[in-house]
Amino acid sequence: MRGIKKILMVVAMSLALTACATTPEGKKLTGQVVGGATGAAVGSLFGNGTGRVVATGAGAVLGTIIGGKVAEQ
């Protein structure tokens, strides 16, 4: 339950910080920020020790890529 609250808080903060993006570049950046933060939060729920660090990093990278691609469409 703690992990879900963490994810929701990160997403809400990311949306609040990037809510005014109106240009295509701004929208892509918004998608990347929200995707990266969400991916990192989800990745941090997996593994222990070094595995958790790797999962968090991988989640952040994948989330950034996916978020940017989704926002472009």
DSSP string of the chain, one letter each residue: -HHHHHHHHHHHHHHHHTTT--SHHHHHHHHHHHHHHHHHHHHTTS-STHHHHHHHHHHHHHHHHHHHHHHH-
- Reported as a single tens digit per residue, the pLDDT across 49-61 is 899 899 999 999 9
Share of the chain above pLDDT 70, in %: 82
If one compares 7 and 68, the residue with the highest pLDDT of the two is: 68
**Neighbouring C-alpha atoms within 13 Å toward the C-beta of 27:** 8
Q: What was the pLDDT predicted at 18?
A: 59
Find, among 70, 2, 4, 6, the residue nearest to 33 by Cα. 70
pTM score of the predicted model: 0.70
